[in-house]
Structure 1
Amino acid sequence: MIRFLMIADDFTGALDSGVQFAARGARTRVVTDPAYDFSQAEEDLQVLVLDAETRHLTPEAAYGVVFRAVEGALKNGFTYIYKKTDSALRGNVGAELTAVLDAAGADSLAFLPALPGMDRVTRKGIHYIGGVPVAESVFGQDPFEPVTASSVTEIIGAQSKTPVVLHETGAPGEEPPRPGIQVYDAETDGDLLRIGRALGKEGLRLSAGCAGFASVLAELLELEGTPPERPYLVPSLFVACGSVNQVTLRQMETAEAAGFAHVHLTPKQKLETSWLETEDCAAAAAAWLGDAGEKKRFILDVNDPAGRTDTADYAKERGLTAEDLRVRISGQLGQLVRRLLDGGLDATLLCTGGDTLLALMRAVGVAELAPVCDLDAGAVLTDFVYAGKAYHIISKSGGFGEPDLFIRLAKSIGAGDHEEEAVC
C-alpha cells in the first residue's frame, strides 16, 4: 500500500492540500505535532499530513524540522514525500526543499509551485499572483513575511546552495537530467497533470508544490476510496479572523456591508492575557454570543478599524515586536473562541489564517484533524470534538478567496435570510 507524507509549514496549508486526498476518499489525517512519531501511524492510513509549523522559524530551524520528519517517515515505510509550500512562496522554501533532498539522500526533487485554480502561476520561472509578480502583489506587503522576490530560483537561492534547474517548457526534457531542485512552469491544471504524468511514479517519490499539484498527485497515485458525505452544518456562521491579509480584509468589508455583525477587538482584548479573567471579558463574551445567536453571521476580527493604528501604537508603547504581536494575537483569539464555545456558541466556525486555527486547536486540546471536503476555493471543511461535542470548522488561508466568499459560505450553510444547498 502507498503511504504518502505531506509536510506543510502552516495549518491552513496542511488542510487545503490534505483535503485534495480526503475528498477522493483516501484515508487522510492532519497532525499538528512537528515531532510526530511515524511508527504510531495507523496501518490503514494512506495520507498523513504533518503541520510542521515552520513558516515563522529561521531557515536553519525549519531545515532541521523537515529533515527529521522526512528521515522518520522513510524509516517507517512511507514511500512518497511531498513538501507542501505556500502558494505565494512565503516561508522557508529553499531551506525546506533542501532538507527533503538531504534527508532522503537524493539528488533531484520536482517542484511545481503553481495553483492555477486561484490564478497563481509560474511562467519562465517567475511566480505570478493574479497576473502580478508575487513580490509586487499583496504578499509583497505582508507585515510578517513579505515575499521580496518573484523569481522562484532567487527565492530558493536565498536559503539554499542546492542547484536549481528551471524547466520553462513546463515538462521534463530529453536532455540528460541534472541534479537539483527541478522547478517547472505551469499555468493550467492540465500543465500540472501533464508534468506529473511525464515524471512518472518514480519521479514523484520526492516532490513539492502547493494544493495545485497535490490534487494531481491524488489522481496519479490513485489514492482514493469512498468519498465523504457532507455533514449537517449548523446554520450560523461565526468567523474568527486572525489574518491581516488584504484579501481577507476585503472579504470582511463585503460581508459587513451584507449584514454580518463585525466586532474589532481592542488592543487590550487581543494582547493582554489577563483581560481574559476580567468581568469586562465576561460581559463582552456574553454580548458577542447574543449577537452571534441573533444575527447568525458574526465576525470577531483582530484588525483595527480602517484608518486606525490602535494596535501599532499600543505595541510601540510597550516595546512589542511584530513577532510578539503575531504570537499573542493568535493565542488570545484561540482562547476567546474556546471561551465562547464554553459559553454555548452553537455555530459553524470559520477560521482565517493558519496561526489562528492552530491556536484554537491548542486551546481546545485537539492535535489531529480529518479534512472532509472543499466548500469553496481554499475553504476546507473539517471537524473536531471538544468537551464531548462535535464542531464543524472551515479553514481558510488569509490570501485565498473572492471578496464575497464569507457571504457565499453563509448562504451555503443557511445562515441568514437566504438559504441554498452546497455539496462537497
Structure 2
Amino acid sequence: MARVLIIADDLTGALDSAVGFAGVGRKVVVARHPGSVPEALAMQPDVLAVNTASREIAPDAAVAEVTAALSHLQSSAFDVVMKKVDSRLKGNLSAETLTVMRWQGGSRCVVSPAIPSMGRRVEAGMLLGDGVATPVPVAGRFDEPVEVPDVVDEDDFDAIVGRDLGSTLWVGARGLAFALARRLGVRAPETARLDAPMMVVNGSRDPVTLAQIAALPSDIQVVMAPDGRADLTNFTNDRLVLTISDGGAGVSGQEAARRFAESVEVFSSAYRPAGLLICGGESAHAILDRLDINSLQVVAELRPGLPLCEVETGWGRVRIVTKSGGFGPPDLMVSVLEETGAVV
C-alpha cells in the first residue's frame, strides 16, 4: 500500500486534500501543526497530512514551519509527496515548495491548482475560472522551474498523474489530491452523517455562514456569543448552534476568537456532543487547541468539501466536520441538521 505525504499551509486545505485518500483499509491522519507530527506518526497512517499554518506569515517564517514539519520525517518513507497550496495561488508558494523539493531530493515539480469540479482550470499556463477574477500565470508564482500542464477536466488530471508518480513533487489543491488518490486505486470517499447530540459551532463572520444560520427554523436552539462570550444555558433539544457575534465592545478578532474557544470548551463539556460541525478555519484551530486535539483521523465526507474526522475527547469519541466560512449554499446548515432528524 503506497504511503502518501501532504504538506499543507492551512488546516482546512490539509483536511480537504487528505479526505480524497480516505477509504476502507486506509488510515488517513492530519497533524494540526508540525509539533504534532510524532503523535500522528504513532497512529501509523497510510496517508499523513501536515498543516504548517504558514499561508499568511512571512516567507522565512513559512520555511521554518515547513522545515520543522519535515524534520520528523524521512523522504524514503513516502511513495507520493504532495504540496497542498491555495487553489488561487495565495501564500508562500515558491519558498515552501522549494523547501519540500530539497527535502524530497527530486528535481521534477508539477503544479496544477485546477479544481474541475469547481469550474477552476489551467489553460496555457494560466489559472482561470470560477472565483478567479483575473487569470493568474501559474509558473510566475514560483522562482524555480516548474511544469504547468493544462487541466480542464478530471481526464486531464488522470493522464498527468499516470506517470512518474513517486519521483515528482505534486503541487496543487483538492483536484490534484483526488487525482492522485484515483491513481492509487482509492475510490471517492464515502459520505457520512453526524449523529445527535450534535453541536454546530460558528466562529466565522462570513456572510455565507451567517446566511446559513439565519436560514435555520425557529425550533433549532441558537445561542449567541457576543465577542466570543456565551452563557451556559439549558439545552432543550439534541441539536445546538453556538455562534459568535459582535458585542460592540471593540474586542479584537484575536481576543474574540480566544474567548469563543473557551466558550466552546465549556459548552462541549456540558453538552457532550457526538457530532461537532466547526465553521471557520481559524476558529477550528483555536477550538481544537482548547479541546487538546492535535491529530485527526479523516474517514469520510459529510458533503463534498466537508471532510469528516473522528477524534477522542474527554467525553468520548466524536465526529468532527470543519467548514470554511465562505463555503456552501444557504440551505447547507438546514440539510445537515435534517440528516440528524432536527428539522421536520
Report the TM-score range of the alignment, normalised by the length of the smaller protein. Answer: 0.7 to 0.9
Q: Which amino acid aligns with 1:18?
A: A
Match of 2:206 in 1: 245
CA separation in 1, counterparts of 2:196 and 2:315? 20
Match of 1:342 among 258, 266, 269: 269
TM-score (norm 1): 0.71
Q: Which amino acid aligns with 2:90?
A: R
SS in 2 for 1:200: coil
Give the alignment's Cα RMSD to 1 decimal: 3.1
CA contact (8 A) 1:10 1:355 kept: no
Cα deviations across residues 250-278 of structure 1 (Å, max 9, x unaligned)? 3333x3367654444323xx2xxxx6xxx
Matches within 5 A, 1:262-341: 262-267=222-227, 270=228, 281=230, 284-286=231-233, 289-290=234-235, 293-294=236-237, 297-304=239-246, 314-315=250-251, 320=252, 325=253, 327-341=254-268
| Unmatched segments (≥5 aa) in structure 2 | none
Q: Which amino acid aligns with 1:394?
A: V
| Unmatched segments (≥5 aa) in structure 1 | 136-148, 163-179, 276-280, 305-309, 418-424
Match of 2:155 in 1: 190
CA separation in 2, counterparts of 1:150 and 1:249? 30
CA separation in 2, counterparts of 1:314 and 1:48? 40
Aligned length: 344
Cα deviations across residues 116-163 of structure 1 (Å, max 9, x unaligned)? 223333344443453x4246xxxxxxxxxxxxx844344x25xxx32x
CA separation in 2, counterparts of 1:400 and 1:29? 23
**TM-fit CA distance, 1:314:** 0.8
Q: Name whichever of 117-126 and 350-359 sits farther off.
A: 117-126
Structure 1 position 414 matched with structure 2 position 341? yes
Matches within 5 A, 1:50-69: 50-69=50-69
Match of 1:81 in 2: 81
Match of 2:94 in 1: 94
SS in 2 for 1:122: strand
CA contact (8 A) 1:71 1:103 kept: no
Structure 1 position 152 matched with structure 2 position 152? no
Structure 1 position 200 matched with structure 2 position 142? no
CA separation in 1, counterparts of 2:212 and 2:121? 23
**TM-fit CA distance, 1:22:** 1.3
Match of 1:384 in 2: 311
Q: Name whichever of 102-111 and 258-267 sits farther off.
A: 258-267
Q: Which amino acid aligns with 1:299?
A: V
Q: Larger % of helix: which? A: 1
Structure 1 position 214 matched with structure 2 position 159? no
CA contact (8 A) 2:212 2:331 kept: yes
CA contact (8 A) 2:31 2:49 kept: yes
CA contact (8 A) 1:8 1:84 kept: yes
Q: Which amino acid aligns with 1:256?
A: L
CA contact (8 A) 2:55 2:92 kept: yes
Match of 1:49 in 2: 49
**TM-fit CA distance, 1:64:** 2.2
SS in 2 for 1:302: strand
Distance 1:189 1:236, change over 3 A: farther
CA separation in 1, counterparts of 2:10 and 2:125? 24
Calculate percent identity across the aligned residue pairs.
28
Q: Which has the larger radius of gyration?
A: 1
CA separation in 2, counterparts of 1:341 and 1:115? 35
CA separation in 1, counterparts of 2:282 and 2:307? 16
CA separation in 1, counterparts of 2:332 and 2:11? 20
CA contact (8 A) 2:139 2:146 kept: no
CA separation in 2, counterparts of 1:55 and 1:314? 27
